[in-house]
Structure 1
């Protein structure tokens, strides 16, 4: 029957049968497309004959033209097979296979003068991607989206790892519960944030990770989010149906379209092995190849920075204690410094010296520019100009000093949500960077967006984030965007996007703490779309050691902080703690110095979302391997199998382990370091403390 379909599907004008079917290359996944009796597009997905997505509707509800929900007939169904291997500029492996079977169904609405759309499905061994395509046509030119009506009808009341649906932030703690429990847990899940707009008592964000009762791991997300609103999901908790929910603009519209165009891909990653979710590259494969002919200026970065001391309250971003400033009018040279401003010449030089001594690539400096006195929580348009330093920060002098040490300085652009202002200054700001030796920028979008009424995840802002990336590329600048939309694999197309935040990072450890299971969930959720600038490496786990007024503590052991460099992938990795603290633990700090930030290959040795992860990676172009193992609040024994090593070779493994009495609350800094010879036949049982870990360097 399948061969019969494939033969017919290549013929144009098929209208006599309503069901189309394709499989993944390994035959485990089966995608079925059909039209309902009302002409509604539907699809379903199975994995090894188990239902993943039951019959679900597809369509776009429009505001100004007849909606594209029903009344369709099939004009044409075309299939294709694709198989390539491509090389990422940076990544978790040196090459990625992109292999799928494709079905493209062209549908027309006869009642709308033959108006037509195309729905394209790609089925990989690790999941499904599909999108809506709107070819140029007389009857469909400009239109406004009221809502996208893509459904994901689930086969049961799955265990889910979820964040509250919100138009402005993903900086929530992940809740683990059955989907039927979402409504009851939503109120407590919505914790305060500087900018937040929850939209529904059952609204959820993507990537949404789930586990079915019959052992399937299912992840729903999107890929290639360009010129479109970010998709969240709204749960019908009576019928266990998730439906797409787009972010609106200031007047409530959810998208302004002009044909020809195509929506982002809607993705479903599925396997009966948790580790396969971590190894999936489906999100990247659904993005276009890089736009850049020359990528030699894009390089992974390991850095330190003037940052954590301000986060903890030890130092400040602001130069003085004024409560109101106006750029161009406030003369900082005539104001009194507060004595706690961290971004000053001598202090930054100390960080540069530390980076040079220990082989780090760069130093991030925040709080270097005028305007920090009244930036936070204000709906202020002209808050920063991104080119004017405080009196105690000499851009040219520090550039020369860093250059003499072989170190770069990373620029910081906090927009305070005033995107209108950032775009006003962007060319000058990037040129200023290029003139002064900066090749990477950390941008921030804290607070409500200006233009007022726009949301962080609406179409207007999605276009801004990409504009910033493309504009930065003109100046050969790499971008690490914080408070921006969660990534959707665009780093394949724009590899200068080397970092994103878009989740609760280490900074929240100073704001009350991240849950002990937090980093055992992030690789299954947030990192599905791209790497995160999580800023690990905190050794001083009691924040009041830096600021007596802050009684927060780090919800991990010191060794788990080391393991995060392996389990939380990023080509941009920070050693986030203060140099004076690292100097007290140079033996443990050695792992951070040694660990790679770019990889040839990755293996998942064991994993269960919310519980534990053990990963191994091979350094790019080197015969060096690193292992990271982490657990949640429960102590456990990790099983580490070294069969990923080349056969017949002996290596020396340096093992950084929790001490016998280690505990993330009572004794987080207890650790031990040992060495042993290992081969591909070695197996190790390693104890992990509560919220603990193990980090292994193999050479």
Structure 2
């Protein structure tokens, strides 16, 4: 369904409401021609009067002296079908206001386009083609988000190079005092302010409004950060700079990404919002049949924990074009060897997994980390103990795909140099998905992970992969902004602290009760759940870390941490010790027809139910923080008149994420749409349920 209604106005103040009338957007020019906007929800301030505009390099600012030349309103309503996703169809329904502004002193034109949905606001800047503004350099974007008070915030330190920090929960007024401790070490990091924070920024007001600020459709532009004035509680945009400090090189006609504000008085509505996806363009691909959700295992966790090695040898100072690895002594710890990978292929085939990821298969791992090395990998040359052709043959005989790994070591220039050859190598050897990585400082030197240059590189890698019908899972890349709608072969990202950090000291117990409200707002995360052996010392006696989760919650994450790319990240030997619990990982779907948030409070708990694509089965996951709780859910989402068997994988009564993480219990109960379930969740725990229709 599509509806388009147009109205033209020329007043200096405009107002539009959401389709349901609960959100109201007001645009106005202040007396000195400063453009402003204001957003209210059910009569309560979400964003108080806030300024808009730009500072330009070597040119007058686009912040004041404006007059309204024209304005246009329209209503839009359609329903579209994602290639993969949390629901079968998505409604895209909004009221739009586009205000065209002219700056008399410079004869330049700027347009601000607002779209108000029932669940929030999106707006962007548009620069029409014009005589007085062609090529220009952004010194800073001056978008403000003036908040109504000292909200509770779930925030990460503002950084140009990493999102891999633990989320801090505090009032906005406490950000400055907590910033020093919040900034923990990383392979590449560049913080910029004692009050700078990242998006997505999740907030909760004192009167119970849930507010999420982010961006959508980040293309050919720098990533958005937010600078907090902790006296007035005004957030102002702070774009990631390039190597010389500029924020963006643009040429008209062009536009910015969308700035997004998702709002509700119900926490679950934030998780259900599709506003960011709706602000992205439809898919660019005519054929999407090659894009498929993937459930996989891999040679990865054993290296992360230190049990095995990515590198084939302990030699150092390696130059790829002048070394013959066959002459070097193996270190005996290299995990990506043919015989060992076959064990993973056998395990995947036995249990019905789609693919096997192998890291450390290619030459160069001995001399890559922290060296600022340009020609660091070639992405096509295997180590002597990794037989590409034999593993291709063996995996194909078992109906299992191999998943490629490309670590760039931050040398994006080198990756682009080898990209066509690397993707062709993948196709020739049966790989249709790649996990890429950008660990370390970026080359070209001085560029940042989230600047305009790298934003363009990431999209280049995605679109180039599509030429070869390859799906992409990018780690250490810019945080997602809904581009998976336009480029659905982007089936995963990391862009946050994932499970690997459980081996580096641990994630907080509330970590996975926050990520869906923050990182996952822009797209799915390759979180790599499913760790059953939570004591890392079992794999590596030198590593005393432990996974801050019960085993039952590891199952729940397959539902609460949405992704069409899901890994069973632990070792096969650990799954073989708990095959009854492993059954849930085998059964759980990774593509969905429906999703319903049953319970939610950021930082405390999340309970989500999802219906498998094209099937009658439902899966429920619940995760909670370190306090534990009792979860009570209503199963009214089940089809009326039908009978189901619910298999419940739950924490035992004595389970605890630190003291007794592997204590779980499995039981089956008969349920219908009239049933209610009450289930105990241990501290750092949760539960998972598969609900299967039965005729008995």
For this structure pair, what is the TM-score category when the shorter chain's length is used for normalisation?
Answer: over 0.9
Structure 1 counterpart SS, 2:556: helix
Q: Does 1:99 align with 2:96?
A: no
Work out the CA distance in 2 between the residues paired with 1:204 and 1:225.
Answer: 18
1:18 paired residue among 12, 16, 23: 12
Work out the CA distance in 2 between the residues paired with 1:667 and 1:323.
Answer: 42
Instruction: Note the C-alpha offset of 1:323.
Output: 1.6
Cα deviation, 1:657-690, whole Å, max 9, x if unaligned, reads: 1011101101000000000000011111100000
Work out the CA distance in 1 between the residues paired with 2:613 and 2:8.
Answer: 46
Work out the CA distance in 1 between the residues paired with 2:325 and 2:631.
Answer: 55
1:668 paired residue among 653, 661, 665: 661
Which position in structure 1 is the counterpart of 2:67?
A: 73
Q: Does 1:320 align with 2:316?
A: no
Work out the CA distance in 2 between the residues paired with 1:36 and 1:61.
Answer: 18
2:688 paired residue among 692, 695, 698: 695
1:622 paired residue among 615, 618, 630: 615
Which position in structure 1 is the counterpart of 2:530?
A: 537
Q: Is the 8 A contact 2:349 2:399 kept in 1?
A: yes
Instruction: Note the C-alpha offset of 1:171.
Output: 0.1
Work out the CA distance in 2 between the residues paired with 1:487 and 1:208.
Answer: 13
Q: Does 1:52 align with 2:46?
A: yes
Work out the CA distance in 1 between the residues paired with 2:479 and 2:599.
Answer: 26
Q: Does 1:28 align with 2:22?
A: yes
Q: Is the 8 A contact 2:7 2:74 kept in 1?
A: no
Counting only pairs closer than 5 Å after superposition, residues 431-446 of structure 1 correspond to structure 2 as 431-446=424-439
Work out the CA distance in 2 between the residues paired with 1:285 and 1:637.
Answer: 35
Structure 2 counterpart SS, 1:11: strand
Q: Unaligned regions of 5+ residues in structure 1, if any?
A: 1-5
2:77 paired residue among 78, 83, 91: 83
1:193 paired residue among 178, 186, 190: 186
Structure 2 counterpart SS, 1:352: helix
Work out the CA distance in 2 between the residues paired with 1:507 and 1:517.
Answer: 16
Which position in structure 1 is the counterpart of 2:498?
A: 505
Instruction: Note the C-alpha offset of 1:377.
Output: 1.3
Cα deviation, 1:386-442, whole Å, max 9, x if unaligned, reads: 000000001111001000000000000000000110000000000000111100000
Instruction: Note the C-alpha offset of 1:167.
Output: 0.2
Q: Does 1:172 align with 2:165?
A: yes
Which position in structure 1 is the counterpart of 2:260?
A: 267
Structure 1 counterpart SS, 2:321: coil
Instruction: Note the C-alpha offset of 1:10.
Output: 2.7
Work out the CA distance in 1 between the residues paired with 2:428 and 2:8.
Answer: 58
Structure 1 counterpart SS, 2:105: helix
Work out the CA distance in 1 between the residues paired with 2:628 and 2:467.
Answer: 49
Q: Is the 8 A contact 2:318 2:367 kept in 1?
A: yes
Counting only pairs closer than 5 Å after superposition, residues 198-237 of structure 1 correspond to structure 2 as 198-237=191-230
Instruction: Note the C-alpha offset of 1:324.
Output: 1.4
Which position in structure 2 is the counterpart of 1:596?
A: 589
Cα deviation, 1:253-295, whole Å, max 9, x if unaligned, reads: 0000100001000000000000000000000000000000000
Counting only pairs closer than 5 Å after superposition, residues 246-395 of structure 1 correspond to structure 2 as 246-395=239-388
Work out the CA distance in 2 between the residues paired with 1:666 and 1:178.
Answer: 31
Instruction: Note the C-alpha offset of 1:27.
Output: 0.2
Work out the CA distance in 2 between the residues paired with 1:480 and 1:94.
Answer: 22
Which position in structure 2 is the counterpart of 1:414?
A: 407
2:650 paired residue among 652, 657, 662: 657
Cα deviation, 1:112-131, whole Å, max 9, x if unaligned, reads: 1x211110000000000000
Instruction: Note the C-alpha offset of 1:163.
Output: 0.1
Work out the CA distance in 1 between the residues paired with 2:539 and 2:634.
Answer: 40
Q: Is the 8 A contact 2:8 2:73 kept in 1?
A: no
Work out the CA distance in 1 between the residues paired with 2:437 and 2:550.
Answer: 29
Instruction: Note the C-alpha offset of 1:328.
Output: 1.7
Q: TM-score, normalised by structure 1?
A: 0.98
Cα deviation, 1:491-541, whole Å, max 9, x if unaligned, reads: 000000000000000000000000000000000000000000000000000
Work out the CA distance in 1 between the residues paired with 2:140 and 2:8.
Answer: 33
Instruction: Note the C-alpha offset of 1:65.
Output: 2.0
Instruction: Note the C-alpha offset of 1:64.
Output: 2.4
Work out the CA distance in 2 between the residues paired with 1:660 and 1:161.
Answer: 30
Q: Does 1:522 align with 2:515?
A: yes
Work out the CA distance in 1 between the residues paired with 2:302 and 2:267.
Answer: 37
Which position in structure 2 is the counterpart of 1:429?
A: 422
Work out the CA distance in 1 between the residues paired with 2:137 and 2:500.
Answer: 39
Which position in structure 2 is the counterpart of 1:548?
A: 541
Work out the CA distance in 2 between the residues paired with 1:409 and 1:176.
Answer: 40
Work out the CA distance in 2 between the residues paired with 1:655 and 1:231.
Answer: 42
Q: TM-score, normalised by structure 2?
A: 0.98
Counting only pairs closer than 5 Å after superposition, residues 443-462 of structure 1 correspond to structure 2 as 443-462=436-455
2:630 paired residue among 634, 637, 646: 637
Instruction: Note the C-alpha offset of 1:596.
Output: 0.2
1:612 paired residue among 605, 608, 620: 605
Q: Does 1:564 align with 2:557?
A: yes
Work out the CA distance in 2 between the residues paired with 1:639 and 1:63.
Answer: 56
Moved over 6 A (4+): none
Work out the CA distance in 2 between the residues paired with 1:65 and 1:437.
Answer: 53
Structure 2 counterpart SS, 1:209: strand
Structure 2 counterpart SS, 1:661: coil
Q: Unaligned regions of 5+ residues in structure 2, if any?
A: none
Q: Does 1:123 align with 2:123?
A: no
Structure 1 counterpart SS, 2:8: coil
Work out the CA distance in 2 between the residues paired with 1:395 and 1:244.
Answer: 47
Work out the CA distance in 2 between the residues paired with 1:69 and 1:258.
Answer: 19
Work out the CA distance in 2 between the residues paired with 1:11 and 1:225.
Answer: 29
2:467 paired residue among 453, 458, 474: 474
Work out the CA distance in 2 between the residues paired with 1:572 and 1:147.
Answer: 36
Instruction: Note the C-alpha offset of 1:338.
Output: 0.5
Cα deviation, 1:305-328, whole Å, max 9, x if unaligned, reads: 000000000000000101211002
| Count of equivalent residues | 689
Work out the CA distance in 2 between the residues paired with 1:83 and 1:10.
Answer: 16
Work out the CA distance in 2 between the residues paired with 1:60 and 1:601.
Answer: 41
